[in-house]
Each structure stands twice: as C-alpha cells, then as structure tokens.
Structure 1
Amino acid sequence: MDFAELAAQDGRQTTPQAFCKLASISWLVYDIFLTFGDEVEYIWKRRWSLTKALYLLTRYTTFAIILYSVVANMRLDVSDAECRFVFIFEPAGTFWILLLVQAIIQYRIYMMYGKDRTIKWLNIGLWVVEFAALAVLAVFVLPHGHSGEVEDALGSVCNRGAPGGILYIAIPAVLYESWLLALVLRRGVQEYKRHSNGKALDTASIVFIVIRDNIVYYVLMIGSILVFIIIIRIAPVSPGEAAISFAHSATAIGACRIVLNSLRAADAPTPGNSGAYPTQPTMVFQRRTSETMLDEDAHERGVDYVEMDDLSASSPETSRREAERQQLASSRSGLT
C-alpha cells in the first residue's frame, strides 16, 4: 500500500505534523514583519553587498523551504513519488539553510578580525570538513527513517519520521558553531581590553552587539536542535519529523538579526560623529572609516566605532602656541 492509499484511508493523518510545521513558519513570518522596517532601511535602500545577498537568501529561501513543507504535509492528494521527494527535500533544505547562516557568521567574523586571511582560510577549511562529515552521516543515517502505519502515526500524508541516528548528524554542526562562537568571544575580549581601560563595556558599541547577537543565535540554534532530538526520541513520526522546521526558523531568524543589528549599530552616532559642534578644544575625535565588523559598503555609513589610537589631544596651550606661530609667520612675510 503506497502513501496515497494510506492518505485516502484516514484524512486526519495530515493534521498534527502539518500544524507543527505551520507553527514554525508563523514564527518566521512574525519575525519578518517585526524587522521589515529595518530590512527596507539597511538592506533594500543601501548599496548591494555580499552580506545583504546572504541576508536575503537566508530570509526568503528559508521561508520557501518551510512553506513547501507545510503545503506538502497539508495535502491529501499526494503520490508516493511526491512523498519520497519530500524526504529528500527537507534534509537538503536543512543543509542549504545551515550553509547560508554559517556563511553570514563567518563573514562577520572575518570583518571583526580585520580581514585576517588566516582566520578566513581556517574557518573555510573547517567549514568544508563540517559539511563533508554531514554528507557522510546523512548517507548512512537518513535512509533509516521511522515509518509507521496510519493508526500508529497520524502525523502526515508522507508518513515517515526522523531517524533515531539524527543525533549524530547534529554533532558536526554543533562543534563548528561552537568554534565560531569562541572566535567571536575572543575578539570581544581583545576589543574590551584594548578600548575600555577597565571601564564597563559600552552596550551600544558594535562589538557588544555582534557578541550579544552571536550568543543569542547560538542559544537558538542549540536549543532548537535539542528540542528536535528530544521530540524525535519520544515520537519519531509525529511530531518528531515536523520539529526540524523549528530549527530552520530559529537559525534563520538568529542570523538575519545579526546582520540587521550590526548594520543598525554601524549607522548609530559615535563619539566622533555626534552631530554637535565642540565647545571645548580639549579633545578632538578624528573620524576614520573602518571596515572592521562591517561589509564593503562601510564608507556609506561611516565608522563602526572610534579607536583610541585615532584620538589626538589638543590642549589650550597647544592652540595658543599654534596661533603664535601663525602670527609670527604672517609678520615675517609682511616684512619681506
């Protein structure tokens, strides 16, 4: 008996799993509406760049992947071949979303480290190793998914659940994400020691924002994977198989928030660009456009933060001496 015949026997089969997937896409759509104003301001209105291309691909291909999964699980008139395509499409979609999200985080780290080529190639090398391990594990694990009869599953027209060995597939991704988080935290400590002089970290700085968002992303990613693993151990077919869509939404939301928040922080006023004229000549902040932690359109938004070694002191005594020097030079030119 094929999947279409099973579906014809019991239409209730589409309800639980499809509605679980519907909840995950609702979460993603809600976040899209919440951040759409920032998306228009910092993505659509600005010059195109690699970061923005990755943002749009992550945001909207994730939506398309989950939407297809929802539709496929809602329909009753699916064929056996269509269901088998779903079994291939969803893992492939997971790999695609992970690829985009990690590309975003890698690129932000590359900019944070001042375009350090060692960091760049080390991360790319580990990235290749991660996906090679994921591919090998997928070949051995995914074909062994749980299949249940209609009366046992009541989960979907495509009545198949996640395999018990899915835990092993998650290990390479978790290890690589932990490595990226360690790099972000290391850079944050370096910047804190360099610029704070023992003071509390400026929570409005782009350094703090990038670190905070990476931690939030990591918690979302790890949390969604753990929930997925727990659910499939309890109920492999329904709602276990549907829980992967929550991992899709969580990782995409976290990565897109990293991009938007860092671009917003780069646009915020800095000590060197407050918009006010100085009333005291005791300290002059010199603006310097830096691409650290930004993308290639940094010149449009100005500095990301003001570096302490870019400051030049200008005391009243120095100003007086400069005025005397100019007056003496003017007098000499008049005598000649």
Structure 2
Amino acid sequence: MAALAQLINYAAAERLATSFDVAAAMLLVYDCSLTLGMEIEFVWSSPGGFVKVLYIVQRYLPFCDAIFLCLPHQSAVNIDPDGCHVVETMRGWLMIFGFILSEAILTLRVWAVWKRDLRLGVFLLFLITLTTVAEIYVTRTFLHDLQFSIKPYPEFVGCFLTSANRIVYLDWVVLMIYEAVILVLMIIPGIASYRRGENVNLHHVIYRDGIIMYIYLFALSIVNVVVVCALSTEYLAVISSYVYVLALRAK
C-alpha cells in the first residue's frame, strides 16, 4: 500500500510538472510573438556584434530546453533510464547556460548605467565569474546524482525519476545573491539620477523598470528554493521550467 501511495503521489507530481512545462512553453511562444516585429526591426536588422549575438542566443535558447527537450521527459513511450539521464543532462546544462547568458546581459546593463566605470567593471567581472563557477559546480553535482528507473507499469509515459540531489537549491541561492548585488548597484545611480531631475521617461525605463524586474526575479528565486527544500523529491523540478522561462523573458 505504501508503494502504491508513493506511485500515486509521483503521478500527481508529474501531472503538475507537465502543466507547468506546458504553461512555460506557451508563455515562451506568446512572448516571442508579441515582440517578434520589434526584434526584426531593431535587432535582426542592426549591425552584428557581441551584444547582439548574446541577446539572440539568450532570447531563443529556451526553445531548446523548455520545449524540445521537455517532450521526451513528459511524453516518450519507449525511452529508457539512460536516455532519460542524457536528456535531463542536456536540458540542465542548457538551462544553466541560459541563466549565465542572462546574468551577462544584466552585468553589461549595470556597467553601462555606471558609465563603464573601470573599477566596477573589474568587480562585475569577478562577480559573474564567481557566480558562473558556483552554478557549474552545483549543476554538475545535481545532474551526476540524478537516477532514473524503468517504467513502474507498462502504460507509464516519460521518465521515472527515483532519486535527485537537493543541492540544486543552491543554484537559486547563488542567483538570489547575484541579483541582490545587482539590485543595489542599480538603485544607487537610480536615486542619484532622480535627485538630479534627469529625463523622467528615461529614468522610468532604465531605473524604475529595471529595479522592479530585479525584485521580481529575486522573488522567483525564493519560490523555487522553497519548492526544492520543502517538498518531496518528486516535486523537485515541478516549477523549474516555468520559473526559468519567466526569468529569462524578464531580462
């Protein structure tokens, strides 16, 4: 009876995770459809450069891990445990790569707001390097410890996760620390700009909207930490794709 109850709970968690994954995929497609015209006009037609390539890769990378790599995990009929591990490893590394690209964009934005101050540039380079190393270490440990098993019954669809390391919550903690530092660095020049009475519209776009975005991302990270630490293993990644897409589209 205990095994049956555990299996029922797992199936419920998988159904919930599937709902969030589908919601994330639809949000991604919808958001891209809203901005595609502007991106073609102002991004795709602009001169090439590092920032343009960085933006395009970060913008469209989620289609790989949040849509295409979700399909085998959620709907594959004949996938074996080794295949599940390969798919989840690819998905995990692509997600962390997307986060790192997003942090790079945020770092460049803050550096621009500080008028490319050399000392701050060195600090930001150190910060994003430290963040990247920590994210890679945690992700490598988490993906290495993932364990999948054969289907518990013939009609089971997707991958059957049996064990996972909760160390993955540290990925979100690291992002929270990084975003807290970035938030402070954004608030300081924002207050100074407001006191000088500079262009109000520019102030709203660069500072007010930027600060709101950082607070929003910080709150998303807290939600994921609570989910990972408080719920059972089968709920470990239940909202990861959704939070991932929301975080990347906000940037």
TM-score normalised per structure 2: 0.81
Structure 1 distance, partners of 2:20, 2:81, is: 22
RMSD: 3.0
Q: Secondary structure at the match of 2:166?
A: coil
Pick closer, same or farther for the CA change 1:141–1:155 going to 2, 3 Å: farther
CA contact (8 A) 1:14 1:76 kept: no
Shift of 1:40: 2.1
User: Partner residue of 1:262?
Assistant: none
Q: In the alignment, residue 80 of structure 1 is paired with which amino acid?
A: P
Q: Which has the larger radius of gyration?
A: 1
User: Partner residue of 1:225?
Assistant: 221
> 2:202 aligned with 1:187, yes or no?
no
> 2:209 aligned with 1:213, yes or no?
yes
Pick closer, same or farther for the CA change 1:151–1:228 going to 2, 3 Å: farther
CA contact (8 A) 2:81 2:149 kept: no
Shift of 1:140: 4.1
User: Partner residue of 2:233?
Assistant: 236
User: Partner residue of 1:30?
Assistant: 30
How many residue pairs get aligned? The number is: 237
Q: In the alignment, residue 114 of structure 1 is paired with which amino acid?
A: K
Pick closer, same or farther for the CA change 1:226–1:149 going to 2, 3 Å: farther
CA contact (8 A) 2:149 2:160 kept: yes
CA contact (8 A) 1:66 1:245 kept: yes
User: Partner residue of 2:100?
Assistant: 99
Q: Secondary structure at the match of 2:243?
A: helix
CA contact (8 A) 2:146 2:165 kept: yes
Superimposed CA distance per residue, residues 46-70 of structure 1 (whole angstroms, 9 cap, x where no aligned partner): 2233332222111111122211232
User: Partner residue of 2:176?
Assistant: 174
Superimposed CA distance per residue, residues 130-153 of structure 1 (whole angstroms, 9 cap, x where no aligned partner): 12222333344444457688669x
Shift of 1:12: 10
Structure 1 distance, partners of 2:219, 2:63, is: 20
Superimposed CA distance per residue, residues 73-121 of structure 1 (whole angstroms, 9 cap, x where no aligned partner): 2211212221011231232122111111111111112222222222212
CA contact (8 A) 1:13 1:156 kept: no
Pick closer, same or farther for the CA change 1:42–1:225 going to 2, 3 Å: same
Pick closer, same or farther for the CA change 1:140–1:13 going to 2, 3 Å: closer
CA contact (8 A) 1:13 1:157 kept: no
Shift of 1:229: 3.1
Pick closer, same or farther for the CA change 1:82–1:212 going to 2, 3 Å: farther
Runs of 5+ unmatched residues, structure 1: 1-10, 256-336
Structure 1 distance, partners of 2:142, 2:82, is: 21
Shift of 1:241: 1.9
Structure 1 distance, partners of 2:41, 2:194, is: 30
Pick closer, same or farther for the CA change 1:216–1:29 going to 2, 3 Å: farther
Alignment match of 2:248 (pick from 237, 248, 252): 252
Q: In the alignment, residue 77 of structure 2 is paired with which amino acid?
A: L
Name which of structure 1's ranges 107-116 and 155-164 shifts more when overlaid on structure 2.
155-164
Q: Secondary structure at the match of 1:241?
A: coil
Counterparts of 1:92-171 in structure 2, within 5 Å, are 92-145=93-146, 157-160=158-161, 163-171=165-173
Structure 1 distance, partners of 2:240, 2:156, is: 14
Shift of 1:44: 2.0
User: Partner residue of 2:65?
Assistant: 65
Q: Secondary structure at the match of 1:47?
A: coil
Q: In the alignment, residue 193 of structure 2 is paired with which amino acid?
A: E
Superimposed CA distance per residue, residues 9-57 of structure 1 (whole angstroms, 9 cap, x where no aligned partner): xx99975433331111111111111222221222123223333222211
Structure 2 distance, partners of 1:129, 1:176, is: 10
Structure 2 distance, partners of 1:102, 1:33, is: 24
Superimposed CA distance per residue, residues 210-239 of structure 1 (whole angstroms, 9 cap, x where no aligned partner): 22332333234223333333334324324x
Q: Secondary structure at the match of 1:76?
A: coil
Pick closer, same or farther for the CA change 1:189–1:76 going to 2, 3 Å: same
CA contact (8 A) 1:138 1:169 kept: yes
CA contact (8 A) 1:148 1:237 kept: no
CA contact (8 A) 1:15 1:155 kept: no
Shift of 1:155: 9.1
